[in-house]
Amino acid sequence: MTEKILLKGNELLVEAAIEAGCRFYAGYPITPQNEVPEMMSWRMPQAGGVFIQAESEIAAINMIFGASAAGARCMTSSSSPGISLKQEGISYIAAAELPCVIVNMQRGGPGLGNIRAAQGDYFQAVKGGGHGDYHLIVLVPATLGELYDLTMHAFDYADYYRNPVMILGDGILGQMAEPVEKRPYKPILNLPPKEFVLDGCKSRPPRVIKTLYLHPADSLVRHNLHLQEKYAQIQRELCLYEEYETDDAEVVVSAYGITGRVAKGAVKAARKEGLKAGLIRPLCVWPFPAQPYQRAAQKARHFLVVEMSHGQFIEDVKLAMDCKRPTSFLGKGGGWYPMEEEILEQIRRLAGTKRKPAAKKIGKR
């Protein structure tokens, strides 16, 4: 049996990144992800890599642009307000098709918000964030085991598709500890040689990495079409989700990340009560795994979406099943999180069996 290690999510992220061959990290302190730069400051030198505490998030993401162009597996991390600052750089990295991993341990917003966990950056991560037509691959682990694996996979997806990958976690995922089997890194894809790297052109034609397309006049149109082809390929190839008890489910709960694991507990409890509940939990929200929703919508009477925001993820759930079934919502931003009992209460209500006295108002505690 492989060794199990007990670390906080933020620390485990560092171990996974280094295990996957990440050798460049730049970041700027912000709670609740401070353990990442703190641990990187001594783990990176141990691994022969580079750690830089940048003067700002803007500088950090641009250092990543450079490190990626130079061929390193590289990563930056932050939390919501810091990720907003990085958006300009993220758009440039997506335009230049540079592989890198960006981690957002989300906190409460908008504005400076607070340091509690939240899922209010879903739109920013999935629908753009920066300017222009681009997409990040967005991975959403729910357990530390998934965080460990998906962090390693993130580097592979980034290199394979030449695209920035975001790990969209939250303060709880970063701060909680859970034992994880420390699996050795093994690429999950046949990685192409990095033929874009700027490492000196002594014996080959010079390369250019650029995001400005002025000439000829249609060059940016063509570049965009090329990007769209790539995004379509990613959408065809990447579909990650967990499906639980959906075969005969009348009420299908859907949630991602930390709310996804709580929702699973609620679905299990509902099954124990004899309620036909199921769960669809994406592990990747761009591309969004539409298939399980379409399948479930054929039988289910009702969907229930749970998220730690005021309704962002729910839009993709509705789109995935063409709004075929009524979809209820349980969620709040600013640091609220759901307990199993609250979700169970909603499942009972939707299943049409009220076994307990009147439920408290949704989300109020």
Partner 1 sequence: MNWESVSGSSAQRRWDECAHGRPPAVATGIKRVLPDRIVFTYQGDGDLAAIGTAETIHAANRGENITIIFVNNAIYGMTGGQMAPTTMIGQWSTTTPDGRGRFGEGGPIRVCEMLSALGGVCYLERVSVSSPKDVMKAKKAIKKAFENQIAGKGFSLVEVLSMCPTDWKLSPLEALDFVNDKMKAAFPLGVFKDRQS
Partner 2 sequence: MKQPTQTRIIIAGFGGQGIVLIGNLIARGALIEGKNVTGMVAYGAEMRGGTAYATVVVSEDEIACPFVEKPDTAIVLNRPSMDKFEPAVQPGGLILVNTSLVQRDLKRMDISTIFVAATEIAQELGNLKVANLAALGAFIQHSGLLQPQSIQQAAEDLFSSKNPKLLPLNLAALKAGMHQSRFMEAVGLTGR
| Residue 188 interacts with which of partner 1, partner 2, none, CB < 5 to 8 Å by class | none
- What DSSP assignment string belongs to 33-55? -THHHHHHHHHHHHTT-EEEE-S
Total residues interacting with partner 1, rule: CB under 8 A: 17
CB of residue 43 vs partner 1: minimum separation in angstroms? 10
Q: Is residue 175 within the footprint of partner 2 (CB under 8 A)?
A: yes
Bridge-based pairing state of the strands 74-78 and 100-106: parallel
Q: Which is nearer to partner 1, 28 or 160 (CB)?
A: 28
Tokens coding 142: 């729910």
Residues 173-192 that bind partner 1 (CB under 8 A): none
What part of residues 333-362 is at the interface with partner 2 (CB under 8 A)? 337, 339-340
Residues 6 or more apart in contact with residue 338 via CB below 8 angstroms: 259, 262, 263, 306, 308, 330, 331, 363
Query: Of 33 and 254, which CB lies nearer to partner 1 in the complex structure?
Result: 33
Q: Are 282 and 317 in contact (CB under 8 A)?
A: no
29 sits near partner 1 (criterion: CB under 8 A): yes
- Specify the residue for token string 């009477």: 301
Answer yes or no whether residue 41 interacts with partner 1 by CB under 8 A.
yes
- Residue 342 interacts, among partner 1, partner 2, none and using kind-specific CB cut-offs from 5 to 8 Å, with none
**HSE-up of 298 (CA within 13 Å, CB side)?**
7
Q: Is 235 in the site for partner 1 (CB under 8 A)?
A: no
Q: 88 CB contacts (<8 Å, ≥6 apart)? A: 58, 61, 130, 131
Cβ-based neighbours of 19, under 8 Å, separated by 6 or more: 152, 182, 184, 185
Tokens 């009702």 correspond to 302
The single residue among 19, 178, 245, 315 that binds partner 2, judged by CB under 8 A, is 178
Three-class SS state of 293: helix
State in angstroms the smallest separation of the CB of 301 from partner 2: 24
Q: What are the strands, taking DSSP E only, across the chain?
A: 4-8, 24-27, 50-53, 74-78, 100-106, 137-139, 164-170, 177-181, 241-244, 251-254, 277-282, 284-286, 302-307, 327-331
By beta-carbon proximity to partner 2, the closer residue of 31 and 235 is 31
Site string for partner 2, 94-133 (x = CB under 8 A): ---------------------x------------------
In the complex with partner 1, the residue whose CB is nearer, 79 or 163, is 79
Q: What residues between 227 and 266 interact with partner 2 by CB under 8 A? A: 258, 261-266
Q: Residue 4 binds what, of partner 2, partner 1, none (CB under 5 to 8 Å, by partner type)?
A: partner 2
The amino acid that residue 347 corresponds to is I
Distance CA 197, CA 213 (A): 19
Q: Measured over all CA atoms, what is the biggest interatomic distance in the chain, rounded to whole angstroms?
A: 77
Binds 177, which of partner 2, partner 1, none (CB < 5 to 8 A, cut-off by type)?
A: partner 2
Residue 88 within binding range of partner 1, rule CB under 8 A: no
Q: How many residues bind partner 2 (CB under 8 A)?
A: 24
Q: Does 37 bind partner 1 (CB under 8 A)?
A: yes
Q: Applying CB under 8 A, which residues contact partner 2?
A: 4, 6, 31-32, 115, 171-172, 175-179, 258, 261-266, 268, 337, 339-340, 365
Q: By the criterion CB under 8 A, which residues form the site for partner 1? A: 28-31, 34, 37-38, 41-42, 51, 53, 55-58, 81, 112
